[in-house]
Amino acid sequence: MGVTEKVAQAVGRAPMIALLGNPNCGKTALFNRLTGARQKVANYAGVTIERKEGQFVSPAGNQFRVLDLPGAYSLSAHTPDEEITRDVVAGLRAGEGAPDLVVCVVDATNLRLNLRLVLEVQRLGLPMILCLNMVDVAKKRGIEIDADKLAQELRMTVVETVAVQGGGEKSLLRALDELGPLAPAAARPLAAIDAVSVEDTQREVRRILAVVAKNMHATDTRSEKIDSVVLHPVVGPAILAVLMFLIFQAVFSWAEAPMDMIEGAVGAFGGIVKEHMADGVLRSLLVEGIIAGVGGVLVFLPQILILFFFILVLEDCGYLPRAAFLLDRLMGGVGLSGRAFIPLLSSFACAIPGVMAARTIQNPRDRLVTIMIAPLMTCSARLPVYALVIAAFIPDRQVWGLFNLQGLVLFTLYFAGIFSAMGVAWFMKRSLGGKRKQPLMLELPSYHWPNLRNLAIGLWERAKIFLTRVGTLILSLMVILWALSSFPGAPEGATHPPIWYSFAGMIGRGLEFVFAPIGFNWQICIALVPGLAAREVAVGALGTVYALAQSGDDVASALAPMIASTWSMATALSLLAWYVFAPQCIATLSVVRRETGHTRYALLMAGYMFTLAYTASFLTYHIARLLGA
């Protein structure tokens, strides 16, 4: 037996710990600290929506497996993510028993709410440890909790932790080592939870608090002060708008220097390869296929990272639920709940986590509508397409001495997506009918400074996702596209560049028939096809198509000036409009199918987005032409 197999076997027998608790109490931060994992941690409820498993070895050398779970207010689940938690803890998951130990994580600054869940879980009869987390914040605020008394009252081990500090998990590790071997446990049936009424549980919580805690009501005055401005009915929305606006400005202005650097490096690399390799198929694959294609996408890394820098800061400081609160009325106007805000915001990264985050929405109709409009939020894969076309067609100048015109156009495109989403939601809500809007129940967490380590990890993870995508999916698509664009080659006496006669050229020219009315030429049509697999590939594909379409031995010049000289402004605007709606990428459609459980919703989504995209591009193209663009 190899070493890895032995370890795997030992891990297989290791006791399973489940981290359970209310949303936003620090379970994932603790999970990461224990296991060294890098699961997402952020300051709002509903960050974790899946069961994640990890493992670690305690200082005494004991092996443990550990589960991070979605937060839950109670075990009588109301949302799909809470169901996951309930099923795991109650041992209802297929092929999986109840955990050997439940570590109930509670937010020490919000014990009143958190203890209810603790009492509920206790009734399942599983071995338990209570982890009093965020004691740093509680102490600062003057909240005093007597951990020993709490342990006596609850008849379980209570430890204090600070999940965001190095070593903040030590007391938990110590307690785990002191436990001794855990007997195999079976959870009592869930019905045991309902044996005690909610009122009795509340009474018990009050009784315990009176014994163990002092100054429980110490409020977070700093957050209250900030909120009096941030949630102000007039000032609040203004701050939100300015914030969003500044972000898009920064995406353009800050990214310029690093983008130039990457572009320069890619160009130089292409030049070197071209110089040192004999002309032929391999050189064409490297220069026109891989360097022009993949390099064309790589250039957008800085812009993506800048966008995520802001999103991560806002996520970690606790602003997001406030934004949801501010937008609740606006979203309520179209029948969406403020709860949809966070799934929709996640969709700016990619629609897939957004669609999945809709699990935190209780009402099935609200959830469906949120899923259906999630892809209208501009995902980061569309940013390269926007950025390319904007850089080529929109002059880089100041408007009213204040705004950068390119940033302004980008801002408009993002908003076009948001407004259309609201329109579609309104329409769907009307056709689906259903109950009137439910009040938004959303916890507003305390503000805190973003954790720099988290921020760095978050950005690094983003960069890794992007680079992996570029190095795998995009690279392989580019190679396929290059092959399709290079063969079978031009016939004798050809008047067009060889790509025109290639398989890709044939596809492009075939599709041009459909897309000519919205101003797309055959080169764009070719790029649309691999764009279905990953939208940013459209940019790489244009890079390859134009590099191959160049005549003679010209060194492939940068893509932006090339399209600027060959497309009309109307075509450029039409392509931007197309990508506001960009008929779904295939990965998103399959997640929609999985999350809704129906193929028809995926088809409906593809259909409605295609219709919207075509209509928007048609109108944009023809209006722009009328205006002389």
CA dihedral (180, 181, 183, 189) in degrees, to 10, reads: 60
Contacting residue, 16, 17, 18, 26, with ligand GTP by CB under 6 A: 26
Residue 90 interacting with ligand GTP (CB under 6 A): no
Nearest 5°: CA angle at 566, between 493 and 250? Answer: 145
Q: Which stretch binds ligand GTP (CB under 6 A): 36-44, 92-100, 304-312, 610-618?
A: 36-44
Q: At what angle do helices 364-373 and 586-596 cross, to 10 degrees?
A: 180
Contacting residue, 15, 16, 17, 28, with Mg ion by CB under 5 A: 28
Shortest distance (Å) from residue 108 CB to ligand GTP: 8
Nearest 5°: phi and psi at 371?
Answer: -60, -45
Shortest distance (Å) from residue 24 CB to ligand GTP: 4
338 binds, among Mg ion, ligand GTP, none (CB under 5 to 8 A by kind): none
Residue 137 interacting with ligand GTP (CB under 6 A): yes
Residue 162 interacting with ligand GTP (CB under 6 A): yes
Asked if 91 and 97 count as a contact pair (C-beta separation under 8 A), the reply is yes
512 binds, among Mg ion, ligand GTP, none (CB under 5 to 8 A by kind): none
Contacting residue, 15, 16, 17, 23, with ligand GTP by CB under 6 A: 23
Alpha carbon 600 to its chain centroid, in Å, reads 24
Please give, one letter per residue, the 3-state secondary structure of 534-569.
CCCHHHHHHHHHHHHHCCCCCCCCCHHHHHHHHCCH
Shortest distance (Å) from residue 228 CB to ligand GTP: 22
Shortest distance (Å) from residue 446 CB to Mg ion: 17
Q: Which stretch binds ligand GTP (CB under 6 A): 37-45, 182-190, 244-252, 610-618?
A: 37-45
Shortest distance (Å) from residue 71 CB to Mg ion: 6
502 binds, among ligand GTP, Mg ion, none (CB under 5 to 8 A by kind): none
Distance CA 549, CA 509 (A): 14
The neighbouring-strand residues paired with 104 are 20, 130
Q: Which amino acid is at 66?
A: V
Task: State the CB neighbour count (10 A cutoff) for residue 145.
Answer: 22
Contact partners, residue 155, CB within 8 Å, separation at least 6: none
Distance CA 560, CA 392 (A): 5
Among residue numbers 32 through 71, which ones bind Mg ion (CB under 5 A)? Answer: 47-48
Contacting residue, 404, 451, 574, 617, with ligand GTP by CB under 6 A: 451
Q: Which stretch binds ligand GTP (CB under 6 A): 19-27, 227-235, 239-247, 418-426?
A: 19-27
Q: Which stretch binds Mg ion (CB under 5 A): 26-34, 423-431, 547-555, 603-611?
A: 26-34
Nearest 5°: phi and psi at 310?
Answer: -65, -45
Q: Which stretch binds ligand GTP (CB under 6 A): 134-142, 263-271, 333-341, 473-481?
A: 134-142
Residue 84 interacting with ligand GTP (CB under 6 A): no
Shortest distance (Å) from residue 274 CB to ligand GTP: 49
Contacting residue, 51, 63, 112, 136, with ligand GTP by CB under 6 A: 136
Distance CA 148, CA 477 (A): 61
Sort residue 125 into left (φ over 0), alpha (ψ -120 to 50) or beta: left
Residue 413 interacting with Mg ion (CB under 5 A): no
The neighbouring-strand residues paired with 160 are 132
The SS3 call for residue 493 is coil
In the bound state with Mg ion, the residue whose beta carbon lies nearer, of 51 and 141, is: 51
Site string for ligand GTP, 46-65 (x = CB under 6 A): xxx-----------------
Q: Which stretch binds ligand GTP (CB under 6 A): 5-13, 39-47, 396-404, 491-499?
A: 39-47
Residue 114 interacting with ligand GTP (CB under 6 A): no
CA dihedral (373, 376, 378, 379) in degrees, to 10, reads: 60
* Cα-based distances in Å from 193 to 95, 197, 398: 23, 9, 63
Residue 82 interacting with ligand GTP (CB under 6 A): no
Q: Which stretch binds ligand GTP (CB under 6 A): 16-24, 224-232, 272-280, 534-542?
A: 16-24
Nearest 5°: phi and psi at 168?
Answer: -65, -5
Q: Which of 176, 82, 185 is nearest to 130 (CA)?
A: 176
Contacting residue, 15, 18, 20, 27, with ligand GTP by CB under 6 A: 27
The CB-nearest residue to ligand GTP is: 71
Distance CA 469, CA 475 (A): 8
Total of residues contacting Mg ion (CB under 5 A): 4
Residue 43 interacting with ligand GTP (CB under 6 A): yes
Residue 169 interacting with ligand GTP (CB under 6 A): no
In the bound state with ligand GTP, the residue whose beta carbon lies nearer, of 24 and 284, is: 24
Shortest distance (Å) from residue 245 CB to ligand GTP: 25
Residue burial 57-87, b: 16+ Cβ < 10 Å; e: rest = ebeeebebbbbbbbbbbbbebebbbbebbbb
Q: Which amino acid is at 533?
A: A
Residue ranges binding ligand GTP (CB under 6 A): 21, 23-29, 41-43, 45-48, 70-71, 133-134, 136-137, 162-164, 316, 451
Residue ranges binding Mg ion (CB under 5 A): 27-28, 47-48
